[in-house]
Structure 1
Amino acid sequence: MWTCWWLWPLVAVCTADQFLDQAKRIMQTTPVIDGHNDLPWQLLLKFNNELRQKDANLTSLTGTHTNIPKLKAGFVGGQFWSAYTPCNTQNKDAVKRTMEQIDVIHRMCQMYPETFLCVTSSQGIRQAFREGKVASLIGVEGGHSIDSSLGVLRALYHLGMRYLTLTHSCNTPWADNWLVDTGDHDAQSGGLSDDFGKSVVREMNRLGVIIDLAHVSVATMKAALNQSQAPVIFSHSSAFALCEHRRNVPDDVLQLVKQTGSLVMVNFYNDYVACKREANLSQVADHLDHIKKVAGAGAVGFGGDFDGVTRLPVGLEDVSKYPNLVAELLRRQWTEAEVRGALADNLLRVFEAVEQASNHARDPEETPIEQNYLDSSCRTSYGYSAAPGLHLQPAALLASLTPLLLGPRLL
């Protein structure tokens, strides 16, 4: 027995190679659709979105988790690119900044047509798969990007947005973010506001925009899951039961995910995977296992958050490492159908359900948010009064009339 001890490491290596080979075989026909990648944000920070700079070339880009060779090595066939602008743009230039990030995603497709195909539908994703390209979709990360405007929501849809994250790490005037659950922010809407918040969800359903609940409070998660007429996604969140970080999804919400046919695309950020600075690929697989156990195999996807985080698990250092994670799932006896679901089929099912629930023949939502919910310091008030130049708010109206009323007495 002892004479063969040296064979065991060799057996282990061969077994690992077997699972990796199987993973790559599966991914050749079912590549991964990743729910969230912040490469456009890195292009802004590093190059101010000047894509023709020499160092911005995506075939040789360094210092990022993502470039074209890494995408190909990782069998990435679909990517929701994040059109992200920080919370400090709220009530300032959020819409402008968001449109610039949407523009840079479109220009990526124009500059590298052999690699990227910008698409806006599940059918478009399948076409990109057939052509061997990366189906490139736009996810807008943060409800502050619509500036509490249904008109802006519709305009972003026409520019290609196919999911909207209802909040980032700040409340909007109509939805609460995850920091409410930590006590760092005060609740303002109790989840979704009864009027405008719910009308945003209805309009997203009507248009066919996927509702994304990454970054929202638990109350917002539950309100949106109960309100939406179509499945929703968590584009880059993990399981709260394994790491008690408020960016993660608790089990009672996972039950709602199961009931609604929704999807949790697991985040790779160490702090959400292990609740500490260090993590490894096996711990990411634990999150996938847990979501599968609680919500079903159809509820699992990948949302790596590459180029949006600073710490990634050992074994998942960049987008080229996806086959390693798939091999780990196979080692854990996930079936080929379950693996294909996590890679792409689950997202395609959700996207198709969102498309089927849409109804562009139905009248759009029109009622604007009440003016008193908005920060008015940098805003005009057109449309909020029957008379040009008058504000709807009584206090503002009284202030504007006071000089007229008191003027004769002071002369």
Structure 2
Amino acid sequence: MHVWDGHCDVLAKLLERPELTFDDPGLDANRARLRSGGVRMQTFAIFLCDRKPKPTMDDALESVRLFQERILADPAFMPIRSQKDVEELSKDLLRTGAMLTLEGADVIEGRTAYLRALFDLGVRAVGLTWNYANWAADGVREPRQGGLTVKGKQFVRECNQLGMIVDVSHLTETGFWELCEMSRRPFYASHSNAYAICPHPRNLKNDQIEALFRQGGIMGLTFVPYFLRKGSGAAIDDVLRHVEHVCGLGGERQLTFGSDFDGINEWVRGLEHAGCYPQLIEALLRRYSETQVRGFLWENARQFFNSALPEV
């Protein structure tokens, strides 16, 4: 089965360690592991927020350069920017799709020109903030737990107008509900789990999940062990508990996966890297039909992005 993985931090590692290549065995989601795991669409996040004291637009542009030179230089990878690209990828079984996102809008600094520049370079989704506050919004670790700023609300309107998809992973609950009220386009959670199963602040509560689905969004379950269960020793069965819960909230056709590979320093037992996806697939098939599993792994994400991305 093919896999659409909605979030990894390969670019952050390549930026931190210039000596690395996309083939380095130290990467969870390197070229060989994506291939062996059946990953035919990988989203690559530009993640800078905890890497530098004050990340800049130059840092984001350097991440884009690495994406182009280390990943897209391989003809086996194709950039995904539009509905047309998604349709082409669905027919081309030899290539792997690669899409850029921005995790935390700090570097945009409220400037429309910066947003448009990143969009022109292929960035197709943006999380308003990471775990803490910035000019746009509060993150889940910010003590005051505020929502969107005035500039943040204007930014959402600009994203809606431009066709940039908004990602609510890392956003406070207050900010989530403000976004629900004002967004005119579907948004999504690239890598979050169910709070009812594991009460971590990065996970979404039941009413948030249901609202996300009503808005036409998708939810990417992630393999961060401490988002899956309290304590240590997370295993594939813990991922399945979140799958079951989200399906129970009506998410069978809106559930996807966003591994967070290369953004974590501990791993789910049996899901240590992208090449382990077949083990998750095997476990899913023991509980769900082949049609349902294909939906979780590929079709749900494909349908969302095939409508949320620009046409061409």
Q: TM-score range by the shorter chain?
A: over 0.9
Cα distance change, pair 155–304 in 1 and its aligned pair in 2 (3 A): same
The answer as to whether partners of 1:87 and 1:144 remain within 8 angstroms in 2 is: no
Q: Secondary structure at the match of 2:281?
A: helix
Counterpart check, 1:292 vs 2:250: no
Cα distance change, pair 125–88 in 1 and its aligned pair in 2 (3 A): same
Runs of 4+, deviation exceeding 6 Å: none
Alpha-carbon displacement from aligned partner over 1:323-349 (angstroms, at most 9, x marks no partner): 2112212111x2333222211222222
Q: Which has the higher helix share?
A: 1
Say how many residue pairs are matched: 311
Counterpart check, 1:231 vs 2:186: yes
Counterpart check, 1:176 vs 2:138: yes
- Compute the displacement of 1:87 (Å): 4.6
Aligned to 1:36: 7
Aligned to 2:148: 192
Aligned to 1:329: 284
CA distance in 2, matches of 1:308, 1:152: 25
> Which TM-score applies when normalising by structure 1?
0.72
The answer as to whether partners of 1:261 and 1:298 remain within 8 angstroms in 2 is: no
Counterpart check, 1:99 vs 2:61: yes
Counterpart check, 1:274 vs 2:229: yes
- Compute the displacement of 1:119 (Å): 2.1
The answer as to whether partners of 1:95 and 1:145 remain within 8 angstroms in 2 is: yes
The answer as to whether partners of 1:257 and 1:295 remain within 8 angstroms in 2 is: no
Alpha-carbon displacement from aligned partner over 1:304-341 (angstroms, at most 9, x marks no partner): 00000011111101001112112212111x23332222
Counterpart check, 1:82 vs 2:57: no
Alpha-carbon displacement from aligned partner over 1:17-39 (angstroms, at most 9, x marks no partner): xxxxxxxxxx1xxx211111111
CA distance in 2, matches of 1:348, 1:225: 22
CA RMSD of aligned residues (A): 1.9
The answer as to whether partners of 2:5 and 2:258 remain within 8 angstroms in 1 is: yes
Instruction: Note the residue ranges of structure 2 that are not aligned, 5 or more in a row.
Output: none
Counterpart check, 1:65 vs 2:28: yes
CA distance in 2, matches of 1:81, 1:110: 11
Instruction: Note the residue ranges of structure 1 that are not aligned, 5 or more in a row.
Output: 1-26, 48-52, 361-411
CA distance in 2, matches of 1:110, 1:345: 23
CA distance in 1, matches of 2:224, 2:50: 20
Alpha-carbon displacement from aligned partner over 1:222-266 (angstroms, at most 9, x marks no partner): 211222222211111111111100000111101101211211101
Counterpart check, 1:310 vs 2:272: no
Amino acid in the other structure paired with 1:161? V
Amino acid in the other structure paired with 1:77? R
The answer as to whether partners of 1:255 and 1:295 remain within 8 angstroms in 2 is: yes
Cα distance change, pair 109–313 in 1 and its aligned pair in 2 (3 A): closer
Cα distance change, pair 43–151 in 1 and its aligned pair in 2 (3 A): same
- Compute the displacement of 1:82 (Å): 0.9
The answer as to whether partners of 2:37 and 2:275 remain within 8 angstroms in 1 is: yes
Q: Secondary structure at the match of 2:249?
A: helix
- Compute the displacement of 1:171 (Å): 0.9
Select the structure of larger CA radius of gyration: 1
Q: Secondary structure at the match of 2:253?
A: helix
Q: Select between 346-355 and 149-158 the one with higher mean Cα deviation.
A: 346-355
* Percent identical residues: 29
Which of 200, 209, 218 lines up with 1:254 in the alignment? Answer: 209
Cα distance change, pair 41–76 in 1 and its aligned pair in 2 (3 A): same
- Compute the displacement of 1:88 (Å): 6.8
Cα distance change, pair 336–169 in 1 and its aligned pair in 2 (3 A): same
Q: Secondary structure at the match of 1:262?
A: coil
Counterpart check, 1:213 vs 2:156: no
CA distance in 2, matches of 1:315, 1:131: 26
CA distance in 1, matches of 2:209, 2:21: 40
Cα distance change, pair 42–174 in 1 and its aligned pair in 2 (3 A): closer
- Compute the displacement of 1:169 (Å): 1.6
Aligned to 2:309: 355
Q: Secondary structure at the match of 1:137?
A: strand
The answer as to whether partners of 2:42 and 2:97 remain within 8 angstroms in 1 is: yes
The answer as to whether partners of 1:166 and 1:216 remain within 8 angstroms in 2 is: yes
Matches within 5 A, 1:393-404: none
Aligned to 1:145: 107
Q: Secondary structure at the match of 1:111?
A: coil
